[in-house]
Amino acid sequence: MQGLVKMLNSFYDPQKSGVQYLEDLACAYWNSQVIFTAVELELFTYIGTEQRTLTEISKHYTSDENAMQRFLNTLTILGLLVKYGEYYYNSQLASEYLIKDKEMYQGDSILWRKELYSNWQDLKDTLIHGKRLNYIPDEKEEILKQKTKKYIKAMDCIAKSKAKEIVKHFEGLNLEGNLLDVGAGSGAFSLAFLHEFPSMRPTLFDLSSVIDITKENLEGYQCKISYHQGNILEDWNFKTEKFNVILLSNILHAYSEKEVEHILNQVAKWSDANGMIIIHDFFMEHHSLKAGLSDLNMMVNTYNGKVFEGDWVCKTLRSLGFYDEGLIPLKSDTALIIASRKKELLKEIHREPKQYLMLKLKALGFKNIQLLSSDEVCFTESAEVKCQFGCEHYGLGKCPPNSLPIEKTKKLLKEFKYGLLLEGEPPTKDFQLKIIAAEKEAYQQGFYKAFSLWAGPCSLCHQCKPQSSCPKARPSMEGSGIDVFETVKNLKETLEPVKNKNDYVKYFGLLLLE
């Protein structure tokens, strides 16, 4: 069994990442090129629900059979095709997302990623220059229109899957009234809200060149949707009353702090007193690697876009009189900020409590956090023996035998359904303080039974009465009979014995949750 959900900063692992990690970083674009080519060839659409032989596929593309066989082999290893005997099929993933005309088709978004690639090649010069270098002057109107169409289609692919995830947070609420979709793009978010809350009246606000295309695409919704053409960087001007819900999806990252402040000021001006603001975007605190790369993507591909800290956006909203409950992470790479002048309104929003807690704990500085089921924790009788024979701390502080005996730990874990495996690093005292802070945060978020086990002998105080209770001390995982190595290994993490003085040391703590 493996951990349920993982929240980590990057794929870098100080105990594992060596030269292979560097090689994989350097070759990452090979993966991109494979998927770009397969989507461009419409290979998955061609295979569809059929079984195809190599000869059939090669004939279809008039390609060299040997070269095609090597390409198909790699797609199979990547999990996009399945080979059975002499036949190739689409994998389940490809069937759902890579066949044209399927509801959740992602091909347009994948090909848009390819369009963005050329400016990435200017990254070095962009760093020197401080901003994007490469602007194509005055493209012909028709070319621009085709490009905008492509862009809107790409946004639509992503928005359709995100919208499903986002709307879930509002299930059961009675959202009604005017919805303003700022930088609406394809309008996929408005449609998702309209589907869930049919009495809402969406207004799609975008540049005129985009609105023209969106109108064409949403012809069937004429009577339900209004359009507003304009520039969000200017003062907003609506003939209607204020808005009950204002949505900004993937808008903030296209602009600078100053511009975002202007946009949020306009949001404040046009938000009804009982209104709600929904911001969906990349934020540095969530999926940090993707957020960081998206930030660079903005640097090379926009005139001054950047990915913000969710914390900064929340503070800006608070300065405008709004309440929020911090970042609400989606299961995917983006997150939500939901704000309102009415604090009570925020209580009704659904969020997955453990995911939300994990995000909060990440801000405490843990390297990696993994949700596991409590029955994934392994035990070993050798733990206490190793403490007794071989450790100078035996009998001191809350170390064995003043810790939890293995049988008691096993019993204790039966009371909990989940645990968070929290990874950190020395100094021990800092790590242990973080564990205590994590337990407190969990308790405050409603996990009233939350209890933590940390790593190593207690390093918080110099003096300690081993037999008495202490508000700060917690048992260590290993001193309570837990096989930390086995537990970590089963979760597909690495934990190497420290052999040399300069080896990187990992600490693990376990926060138990009901």
Ligand X SMILES: C[S@@+](CC[C@H](N)C(=O)[O-])C[C@H]1O[C@@H](n2cnc3c(N)ncnc32)[C@H](O)[C@@H]1O
Q: In the complex, which residues of this chain contact ligand X (CB under 6 A)?
A: 155, 159, 183-185, 188-189, 206-207, 210, 231-233, 249-251, 254
Q: How far is the CB of 163 from ligand X (least distance, A)?
A: 8
Nearer to ligand X, 229 or 380 (CB): 229
* Cβ proximity to ligand X, 232 vs 328, nearer residue: 232
Distance in Å, CB of 185 to ligand X, minimum: 3
Query: In the complex with ligand X, which residue's Cβ is closer, 166 or 510?
Result: 166
Distance CA 419, CA 178 (A): 42
CA-wise closest residue to 248 among 190, 200, 208: 190
**Beta carbon nearer to ligand X, 219 or 234:** 234
- Is the Cβ of residue 205 or residue 322 nearer to ligand X in the bound state? 205
Return the closest-CA partner of residue 491 out of 505, 510, 464. Answer: 510
CA trace torsion 427, 433, 436, 442 (10° rounding): -90
The distance of closest approach from Cβ of residue 179 to ligand X in the complex, given in angstroms and rounded to an integer, is 12
- Token pair in block for residue 7: 């929240």
- Rounded CA-CA distance 254/232 in Å is 12
Output 297 or 480, the one with its CB closest to ligand X: 297
Cis peptide before 202 (omega within 30 of 0): no
Task: For the CB of residue 229, give the shortest distance to ligand X in the complex, in Å.
Answer: 8
d(Cα 70, Cα 64) in Å, to the nearest integer? Answer: 10
Peptide bond into 471 cis (omega under 30): no
> What DSSP designation does 479 have?
G
Q: Which residues pair with 174 in a beta bridge?
A: none
CB of 95 to ligand X, least distance (A): 24
| Least separation in angstroms between CB 277 and ligand X | 14
Query: Is the Cβ of residue 203 or residue 452 nearer to ligand X in the bound state?
Result: 203
Judged by beta carbon, residue 189 or residue 447, the one nearer ligand X is 189
List Cα–Cα distances, 298 to 157, 242, 253, 254, 301, in angstroms.
Answer: 19, 32, 7, 7, 5
Min dist CB 477 to ligand X, Å, is 43
Taking the complex as a whole, the smallest distance from the CB of residue 269 to ligand X amounts, in Å, to 16
Instruction: Give the DSSP letter string of 314-335.
Output: HHHHHHTT-EEEEEEE-SSS-E
Residue 499 and residue 436 in contact, taking contact as beta carbons nearer than 8 Å: no
